[in-house]
C-alpha cells in the first residue's frame, strides 16, 4: 500500500487514480494524521501531495519530521517537495518567476525516479509559486527547468525523492513511468493491470438506493447519462429520469435526451419546462459564484416539487464526478476554486439523500464506464457541456438578449468545427460573451460592441488542459461569422491559456 498525504492539491486524488491503474493499493491521510496512519497500517511508500499553501504561511499544513527517519520511501510532489526542503533545513523561497503549465525538465544525473528515460528534456506540468533554492544536507539536484534550477532532488540513502512538477497529470509526458519507478523500483511493489468493476459499481448503487424510488437528474451530458445507466441496471423501474429545460443548454439537448432514454432504457423522461424561471432567478446577478448557487438551488426546488408527485422518492441521483468535487473544496486543505452547481452550489437542506455513483471518477473513466455499460458512442463521446450551461459562458448578467447571442455564436463555433473535421479532435470548444467592449469599424462607421472569446482545448480528465492549435483559416472563418452574424459583437479573441492556471470555463 502507498500512503498519500493530501495537502489540498487539485490533483492529490489523481495520484491515487494513477497508482490504482497500476494495480497498487492506496490510502489517503491528512498531514496531521500521518503518524497514526503509518502506525495503523504501515505503508510501503509515502507520497506527499501538492497543495495551495506556502510553507511560510501561518497555519500551513505540515507533517511530523519523524517520517523522514522511518526508512519508508518518500516521494514529495510540488508542495510536498517544498515542505521536505523546508523541514530538512534546505532553503525554500517565493519564486520570482512562478510556473503554471508546461515546462521542459532537464535530468542532470542518473536517478531511480527517472529510470528508463532517454536523457533528453521532456515536458512536465507545473503549478507553483514557492521553490527550493538550496537543497537540504544529503540531497542532490537531479533535475531543472529553464526557470527553476532545482526541479527534482533526491537523498537515496534516506529513500527521499522530490519533484517540483506533477507526474500525476496527463500532460507530464512520462508521468506514469515516474510513478511506476517510485512504486516498483524504489518501494519494491509489483504492479498489475487494473480495470473498473462494473458489477461491483452496480451493486453499490443498488445498496445505496435501497427500496426507494430514485429521481435522476439528467442533462444530456456524459456524466448524468452514465449515472442514469448505472441506476437503470441497479434498480430498473425505480429510476425516474428528470430533464429540466432551463433554456441554458445547447439547442436540441431536450430532444436528444428524450430519444436516448426511449431507445436505450425504454423510459420516457419527465421534462420540466423552466426557461422563464431560470432567467428570472438569474436577473441582476453578475457574480459567477452567485450564478452557480442560484442555478443549483432552483434545480433542487424543481426536483423537490417533482418528487412530491411520486410515492417513496427520497433519493436524488446526480452525475457528479471528482473534478466537480475538488474544485468545490472537496478536501480539508484544498482551495475553493468554484462552486459547481451540483456540489458547492447546492442548498444546505436538500430534502433528498444524494446518490452520486461517479463521484470518485474522472471524465475519461466515466466515458469508459459508459462504454462498458453498452451506451452508444454518440452518448459517451459527446462534447462536454457545463451543468449551469450558457450562464457561465456569459460574463456579467444573463439577459434574454445576451443568451440568444451566446447561443448564436455557439452554433457557429460547433458548425464550423464540425465542417472542418475538428469537432471530434478536441475536448471542448465554445465562445464566451466577455462583457468587455471595444471599438470596431462596420460599414465605414464607428461601432462599439462586445468582445467574444473562443476557448478550444484538449483534455482527458479535466484536471489539466492545453489549447488547440487550430488552423488559422478555421479561426478566421469562425471570427468572421461571429462578428458579421451575431449582433453587437465587435471582435473575437482566442484564449490560449492552459490549465493551470486557467480553469476550463471562464466563470
Give the pLDDT band (50/70/90) at residue 338.
very low
Q: HSE, CB side, 13 Å, CA atoms: give it for residue 393.
A: 27
Instruction: Give mean pLDDT, residues 115-144.
Output: 89
Q: How far apart (Å, rounded) are the C-alpha atoms in residues 111 and 140?
A: 10
Q: Report whether pLDDT(323) > 80.
A: no
Q: Which residues contact residue 10 at a Cβ distance below 8 angstroms, ignoring those fewer than 6 apart?
A: 50, 127, 326, 327, 334, 335, 337, 463, 500
Of residues 332 and 20, more confidently modeled: 20
Domain boundaries, the chain: 2-186, 200-380, 394-494
pLDDT computed for residue 147 by the predictor: 82
Give the pLDDT band of residue 342 (cuts 50, 70, 90). Answer: very low
Cell matching residue 193: 493491470
Query: Among 194, 193, 246, which Cα is nearest to 217's?
Result: 246
Tell me what percent of the residues of the chain surpass a pLDDT of 90. 68
Would you state the pLDDT for residue 52?
Answer: 85
pLDDT in tens, 227-263: 999 999 999 888 999 999 999 999 999 999 999 999 9
Residue 86: which of 185, 180, 7, 174 has the closest Cα? 7
Q: What is the mean pLDDT of residues 462-468?
A: 89
Check the annotation: does 222 bind a ligand: yes
Cα Rg of the chain, angstroms:
24
Q: How confident is the model at residue 310 (pLDDT cuts 50, 70, 90)?
A: confident
Buried b (16+ CB within 10 A) or exposed e, 338-367: bbbbbbbbbeeeeebeebbbbbebbbebbb
Q: Is the pLDDT of residue 346 over 60?
A: no
Pairing of strands 45-48, 140-144: unpaired
**223 known member of a binding site:** yes
Grid cell for residue 145: 527547468
- pLDDT digits 0-9 by tens, 269-293: 999 999 999 999 999 999 999 999 9
Lookup result for grid cell 471524465: 363
Q: Count how many Cα atoms sit within 13 Å of the Cα of residue 185 in the half-sphere of its side chain.
A: 15
Contacts of 442 (CB under 8 A, 6+ apart): none
User: Closest by alpha carbon to 330, among 26, 11, 4?
Assistant: 11
Contacts made by residues 177-180, CB under 8 angstroms, sequence distance 24+: 177/116, 177/117, 178/113, 178/114, 179/15, 179/18, 179/19, 179/22, 180/22
Question: What residues contact 61, with CB distance under 8 A and at least 6 apart?
Answer: 7, 8, 30, 31, 32, 51, 53, 333
Those residues whose C-beta lies under 8 Å from the C-beta of residue 364, and which sit 6 or more positions away, are: 460, 461
Query: pLDDT by residue (tens digit) across 154-199?
Result: 999 999 999 999 999 988 999 999 999 999 999 999 988 777 899 9
More confident residue, 230 or 314: 230
Reference 97, options 126, 124, 129; nearest CA is 129
Identify the pLDDT of residue 337. Answer: 47
CA dihedral 427, 151, 328, 370 (to 10 degrees): 40
Using an 8 Å Cβ cutoff, are 81 and 63 in contact? no
Whether CATH 1.10.238.10 fits 200-380: no
Average pLDDT of the chain is 90
Q: Tell me, rounded to whole angstroms, the distance of Cα 298 from its chain centroid.
A: 24
Q: Are 100 and 78 in contact (CB under 8 A)?
A: no
Is 184 annotated to bind a ligand? Reply is: no
| Chain length of the chain | 507
3-class SS letters over 322-373: HHHHHHECCCCCCCECCCCCCCCCCCCCCCCEEECCCCCCCHHHHHHHHHHC
Stretch 59-69: mean pLDDT: 94
**CA pair distance 255, 217, nearest whole angstrom:** 16
**pLDDT score recorded for residue 444:** 78
Q: Are strands 122-134 and 140-144 parallel, antiparallel or unpaired?
A: unpaired
Q: Burial level of 437, CB count in 10 A (0-12/13-18/19+)?
A: middle
Q: By the 8 A CB rule, do 216 and 313 touch?
A: no
**Active site members:** 78, 166, 168
Query: What's residue 340's pLDDT?
Result: 47
Class of CATH domain 2-186: alpha beta
Q: Following DSSP, what letter does each residue of 134-164 receive, concatenated?
A: EPPTT-EEEEE-SS-S-SEEEEGGGTEEEES
Q: Does domain 394-494 have CATH number 3.30.300.10?
A: yes
Q: What residues contact 409, with CB distance under 8 A and at least 6 apart?
A: 431, 433, 452, 482, 486, 489
Residue entry with cell 500551513: 60
Rounded to an integer, what is the distance from CA 329 to the centroid of its chain? 12
> Which tens digits make up the pLDDT trace of 420-452?
999 999 999 999 999 999 999 887 789 999 999
Pairing of strands 140-144, 91-107: antiparallel
Entry pTM: 0.76
Under the banding of pLDDT at 50, 70 and 90, the label for residue 31 is very high
The reply to whether 224 sits in an annotated binding site is: yes
Closest to 208 measured CA to CA, from 359, 341, 361: 359
239 forms bridges with which residues in the sheet? Answer: 214
2-186 with 200-380: one CATH topology? yes
Amino acid at each position: 500500500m502507498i500512503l498519500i498525504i493530501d495537502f489540498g492539491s487539485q490533483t492529490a486524488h489523481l495520484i491515487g487514480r494513477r497508482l490504482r491503474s497500476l494495480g497498487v493499493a492506496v490510502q489517503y491521510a491528512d498531514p496531521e494524521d500521518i503518524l497514526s496512519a503509518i502506525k495503523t497500517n504501515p505503508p510501503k511508500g509515502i507520497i506527499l501531495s501538492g497543495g495551495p499553501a506556502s510553507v511560510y504561511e501561518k497555519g500551513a499544513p505540515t507533517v511530523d519530521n519523524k517520517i523522514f527517519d522511518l526508512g519508508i520511501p518518500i516521494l514529495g510532489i510540488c508542495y510536498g517537495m517544498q515542505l521536505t526542503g523546508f523541514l530538512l533545513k534546505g532553503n525554500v523561497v517565493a519564486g520570482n518567476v512562478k510556473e503554471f503549465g508546461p515546462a521542459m525538465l532537464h535530468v542532470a544525473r542518473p536517478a531511480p525516479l527517472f529510470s528508463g528515460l532517454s536523457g533528453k528534456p521532456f515536458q512536465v506540468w507545473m503549478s507553483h509559486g514557492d521553490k527550493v533554492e538550496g537543497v537540504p544536507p544529503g540531497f542532490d539536484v537531479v533535475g531543472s527547468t529553464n526557470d527553476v534550477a532545482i526541479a527534482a532532488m533526491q537523498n537515496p540513502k534516506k529513500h527521499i525523492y522530490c519533484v517540483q512538477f506533477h507526474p500525476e497529470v496527463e500532460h507530464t509526458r512520462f508521468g506514469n513511468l515516474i510513478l511506476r519507478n517510485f512504486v516498483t523500483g524504489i518501494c519494491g511493489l509489483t504492479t498489475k493491470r487494473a480495470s473498473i468493476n462494473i458489477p461491483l459499481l452496480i451493486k453499490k448503487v443498488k445498496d445505496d438506493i435501497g427500496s426507494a424510488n430514485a429521481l435522476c437528474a439528467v442533462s444530456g451530458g456524459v456524466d448524468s447519462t452514465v449515472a442514469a445507466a448505472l441506476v437503470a441496471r441497479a434498480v430498473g423501474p425505480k429510476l425516474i429520469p428528470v430533464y429540466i429545460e432551463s433554456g441554458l443548454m445547447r439547442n436540441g439537448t431536450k430532444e436528444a435526451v428524450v430519444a436516448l432514454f426511449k431507445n436505450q432504457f425504454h423510459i420516457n423522461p419527465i421534462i420540466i419546462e423552466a426557461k422563464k424561471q431560470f432567467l428570472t432567478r438569474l436577473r441582476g446577478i453578475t457574480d459567477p459564484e452567485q450564478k452557480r448557487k442560484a442555478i443549483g438551488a432552483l434545480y433542487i426546488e424543481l426536483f423537490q416539487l417533482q418528487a412530491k408527485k411520486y410515492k417513496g422518492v427520497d433519493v436524488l441521483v446526480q452525475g457528479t464526478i471528482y473534478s466537480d468535487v475538488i474544485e468545490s473544496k472537496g478536501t480539508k486543505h484544498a482551495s475553493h476554486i468554484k462552486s459547481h452547481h451540483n456540489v458547492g452550489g447546492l442548498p444546505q437542506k436538500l430534502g433528498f439523500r444524494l446518490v452520486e455513483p461517479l463521484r470518485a471518477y474522472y471524465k475519461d473513466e466515466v466515458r469508459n464506464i459508459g462504454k462498458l455499460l453498452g451506451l452508444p458512442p454518440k452518448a459517451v463521446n459527446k462534447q462536454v457541456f457545463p451543468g449551469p450551461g450558457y450562464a457561465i459562458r456569459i460574463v456579467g448578467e444573463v439577459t434574454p438578449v445576451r443568451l440568444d447571442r451566446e447561443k448564436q455564436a455557439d452554433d457557429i463555433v460547433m458548425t464550423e468545427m464540425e465542417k472542418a473535421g475538428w469537432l471530434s479532435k478536441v475536448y471542448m470548444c465554445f465562445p464566451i460573451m466577455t462583457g468587455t467592449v471595444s471599438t470596431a469599424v462596420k460599414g465605414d462607421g464607428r461601432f462599439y460592441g462586445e468582445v467574444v472569446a473562443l476557448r478550444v482545448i484538449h483534455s482527458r480528465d479535466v484536471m489539466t488542459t492545453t489549447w488547440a492549435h487550430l488552423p488559422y483559416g478555421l479561426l478566421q472563418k469562425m471570427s468572421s461569422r461571429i462578428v458579421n452574424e451575431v449582433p453587437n459583437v465587435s471582435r473575437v479573441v482566442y484564449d490560449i491559456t492552459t490549465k493551470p492556471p486557467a480553469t476550463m470555463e471562464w466563470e
